[in-house]
Amino acid sequence: MPQFAPAGVVMRGMADRLRPAELAQIARELLENEPELKCETELHAEILDDVRQRADELSNLLGEDIAAVGKARRAWRRPWAIAALALLVASLLVLGATLLSTGIPFRSRAANAAFSIGLVALGMLAMVKLWKTIRQQSVLASRELRKALLPPLRALIRLAISELQGEEVRWSGTLRTSQAPALVELNLQDTIPSRTYERLRAFIGEHESSATGLAGARGSGKTTLMRRLRQDEAFDCHVALVSAPVQYSAVEFTRLIHGELAQVCLNPGETNLIRDRMAAPALRVVLRTLLAAVAVSLLITLWIYDKNRPVPNPVNLGWTGITAVVLGGLIIGFVVSRWWALFQGQTKLMVSPQTTRELCLQQLEFLRWSTTVERSATTAAKVGGSGFEGGSKLSRTEREVTHAESVQALRQFIDQLLALSNKPVVICVDELDKLADPAEAVDAINGLKDLFHVAKAHFVLSVSTDAMHSFAARGVPVRDVFDSAFDTIIPVGPLSLEESQTLISRRARDFSKVFVLFCYAWSGGHARDLIRTARSCVDLKRELKDGEEATIALLSRRVLRNDLCEVVDAAVEKLRGESDDLAKAMLDRVLAFQESLEDEPANLYDLVEASEFPPVTGTVAAEAQLAATLAPYARLAALCERLFSGTPQPASWRTEAMSKAVTALAEARSCLGRHPREIERRLKRAVDACAVAEAEAEAEARTDP
């Protein structure tokens, strides 16, 4: 798929918003040129209207990129740029007028005119060069904005196409989707339940300070939730997002949070690639080049004047003297500039900042450099060329900062930041389960507790429930520490059926709702598994032989079998190195079930009912946990195959009984890994709901002529 639409529409932005007309034009290009988005021409008008109506939604999503475009376009309005340009043009015009009237360098008036016109042309070229530079930077920023706009705009078009399709297409039992490039990354805001985000946002807004924990399975959308919090323009806070390091160090972790917060507050609206390509550095280079050209022109003019003057000047410097004066001035200017930079560096950490930018720059200097103070004294006494001389030197280097001091420095920075900006601070710490050692995860949570409850400062930490269960199996009470450290724990639950439908529709067009029901039931509403299951359906459709139809019965059967085989293979690998009797007995049963799965024509439901699975008794080792949970996983796969492998009437997929059955399957899928009694209760509920849905489908099939 092309990364850019072929037509050259440049995103201008309107203040801090996108223009609906430009969005519609780009959407029209995508509809006409991208194979994945091509649809009936009659639908284009309604799709474009939908795009125009959602211009504000896209503007909120791309606020930083729009701000960067506006900054690039306004670069020439900066006072230093206007003053330098005005000074350059004025000096050239004055010099040209002087040459025309007095004829300094040449005795011929025509030569004077030609020389003056050349200088004026140089000034005009300078103006053209400046304009081209600004234009190039503006176009570059616009292209960056367009690049960021295309993924959400494509998602919006896919959703509009899905909503405009007829009922027969939307509820078809055959998959039509053959291209779904967006079923890969979890980089859109629709991967988390909106109710979870609103709950977190409301909790932060209602309290002066807070410490919030996010708990959920891996891939449930905790990271996406934090990113959405950072991108929300209506959420007027400084939001810093930090990922926990693999190797934990209390001091370094605190410094990492400190530096990320300073960087976010220093460059709001410039956290993308455009910040390194803004117009200001290019303008400075152009102006320095032009000023050097003017200086050379003036030196040549003075040299010509010195050679052609009619009356000797009593103060005759000559060409050598002028060169010496100019070089001396350049050397003095360079020395003064370096001295001034050194002086600023020495005093930067001692001056009280007056703006947020100054404060953040000061903090970054504090974090990046250590300070060494040197003092020296020399004493000498000489009489007649003889005597004595002595000296002393004192060097002081700051000692290594402790964890308590780094925490105190961060607290002081937050207090100063609040005083200058009057905006709350939100610090999000993600992927605590990435720490390999459970004890380090406990230390990280306890270390961050020292930062909690600073006025107008909020902390949001995430850890997966999978990691909690794994740590608890090794005797580390991470859950107790996690629960006791925070004011509230917000679970990142699974997506609802409606949210799952919206997510898949934004990422793949022509994806039937029947297949959405299957993906939702088998994934349990888990965002990452939902997208993975949908992608598996599309991949398997492309692998079908000629003459095979991509029906829900065929694709669901193959997806379930593939996933079940992967889990069985992983369980075998886990048990391979175990030598105790229980592990050997479990391995024998898993291998027997693995062999039975090789029988392709066999019905999965009957196969699972006839199989013997490893029993779940007491506490099992970490290597045997996967084998111990194989039975409910296989039973759930068998229920899904039985429900979706039938051939119900198209109307049966839309019944309330079918919706309840799919929801019950999703709930059972999402509770895998909990207590065995809870899993059994959910499975029994799913069995009953599926039986009701199948009975209704059979009754409708008998009555349908």
- pLDDT tens-digit map of 211-242: 888 887 777 778 888 888 887 777 888 899 88
Confidence bin at 329 (pLDDT 50/70/90): low
Domain of residue 219, residue span: 194-274+402-491
The 10s digit of each residue's pLDDT in 370-410 is 655 555 555 555 555 555 565 555 555 655 778 788 888 88
Q: Count how many domains the chain has.
A: 2
Which pair of structure tokens corresponds to residue 572?
Answer: 């075998």
* Average pLDDT score, the chain: 75
* Strand positions, DSSP E, 411-486: 425-430, 457-464
Greater pLDDT, 268 or 36: 36
436 vs 445: CA distance, rounded Å: 14
Please tell me the least confidently modeled range out of 402-416, 477-491, 574-588: 477-491
Full-model pTM? 0.72
In a domain, 613, yes or no: yes
**Which residue type is seen at 108?**
S
Residue after which a domain boundary falls, among 491, 517, 536: 491
Q: Are 88 and 291 in contact (CB under 8 A)?
A: yes
The 10s digit of each residue's pLDDT in 430-485 is 877 666 666 777 777 777 777 787 788 898 988 777 656 555 554 555 556 666 77
In a domain, 304, yes or no: no
Q: Identify the pLDDT of residue 244.
A: 79
% of the chain surpassing 70 pLDDT = 64
Cα dihedral value 529, 531, 533, 536, nearest 10: -140
473 vs 448: CA distance, rounded Å: 24
Confidence bin at 356 (pLDDT 50/70/90): confident
Phi/psi of residue 629, each to 5°? Answer: -100, 10
In a 3-state reduction of DSSP, which class is residue 220? Answer: coil
Q: Identify the pLDDT of residue 636.
A: 93
CATH of residue 418: 3.40.50.300
Question: Residues 519, 521, 527, CA angle at the centre, nearest 5°?
Answer: 60
My answer on whether 461 and 525 are in the same domain is no
My answer on whether 611 and 567 are in the same domain is yes
Closest C-alpha among 570, 551, 568, 533 to residue 648: 551
Q: Are 659 and 611 in contact (CB under 8 A)?
A: no
Give the dihedral sign, CA 103/105/109/115: negative
My answer on whether 683 and 575 are in the same domain is yes
The 10s digit of each residue's pLDDT in 594-606 is 888 887 777 888 8
In a domain, 408, yes or no: yes
Phi-psi region of 510 (alpha: psi -120 to 50; beta: other; left: phi over 0): left
Instruction: Give me the residues paired with residue 241 across strands.
Output: 428
Which pair of structure tokens corresponds to residue 518?
Answer: 């299957």
pLDDT of 15 above 50: no
Confidence bin at 347 (pLDDT 50/70/90): low
Which range has highest mean pLDDT (13-22, 66-75, 405-414, 516-525)?
516-525
Q: Identify the pLDDT of residue 278.
A: 38
In a domain, 380, yes or no: no
My answer on whether 450 and 566 are in the same domain is no
Closest C-alpha among 444, 454, 513 to residue 478: 444
Confidence bin at 107 (pLDDT 50/70/90): low
319 vs 220: CA distance, rounded Å: 76
561 vs 558: CA distance, rounded Å: 5
Phi/psi of residue 310, each to 5°? Answer: -75, -30
With residue 328 as reference, give the H or E element that holds it.
helix 318-347
Q: Identify the pLDDT of residue 666.
A: 94
206 vs 201: CA distance, rounded Å: 9
Confidence bin at 16 (pLDDT 50/70/90): low
My answer on whether 464 and 584 are in the same domain is no
Greater pLDDT, 680 or 340: 680
Instruction: Give me the residues paired with residue 389 across strands.
Output: 380
In a domain, 595, yes or no: yes
My answer on whether 529 and 646 are in the same domain is yes
With b for 16 or more beta-carbon neighbours within 10 A and e for fewer, the 99-135 pattern comes to beeebbbbeeeeebeebbeebbebbeebeeebeebbe
* Strand positions, DSSP E, 72-220: 210-216
Residue after which a domain boundary falls, among 491, 516, 542: 491
My answer on whether 640 and 548 are in the same domain is yes
Residue 452: CB atoms within 10 Å:
16
Give the mean model confidence (pLDDT) for residues 488-514.
Answer: 87
The 10s digit of each residue's pLDDT in 190-207 is 555 677 888 888 899 888
98 vs 510: CA distance, rounded Å: 75
401 vs 412: CA distance, rounded Å: 15
In a 3-state reduction of DSSP, which class is residue 214? Answer: strand
My answer on whether 486 and 516 are in the same domain is no
My answer on whether 565 and 441 are in the same domain is no
* Strand positions, DSSP E, 182-226: 210-216
With b for 16 or more beta-carbon neighbours within 10 A and e for fewer, the 295-329 pattern comes to eebeeebbeeebeeeeeeeeeeeeeeeeeeeeeee
My answer on whether 237 and 269 are in the same domain is yes
My answer on whether 230 and 209 are in the same domain is yes
462 vs 433: CA distance, rounded Å: 8
Q: Identify the pLDDT of residue 485.
A: 74
My answer on whether 674 and 555 are in the same domain is yes
% of the chain surpassing 90 pLDDT = 12
**How much of the chain is helix, strand and coil, in % rounded to 5?**
65, 10, 25
In a 3-state reduction of DSSP, which class is residue 692? Answer: helix
In a domain, 443, yes or no: yes
- Burial class of residue 542 in the structure, from the number of CB atoms within 10 Å of its CB (0-12 exposed, 13-18 middle, 19+ buried): exposed
531 vs 504: CA distance, rounded Å: 7
Residue after which a domain boundary falls, among 491, 523, 557: 491
In a domain, 82, yes or no: no
In a domain, 87, yes or no: no
Greater pLDDT, 575 or 392: 575
pLDDT of 4 above 50: no
Closest C-alpha among 244, 245, 251 to residue 406: 251
pLDDT of 685 above 80: yes
pLDDT of 682 above 80: yes
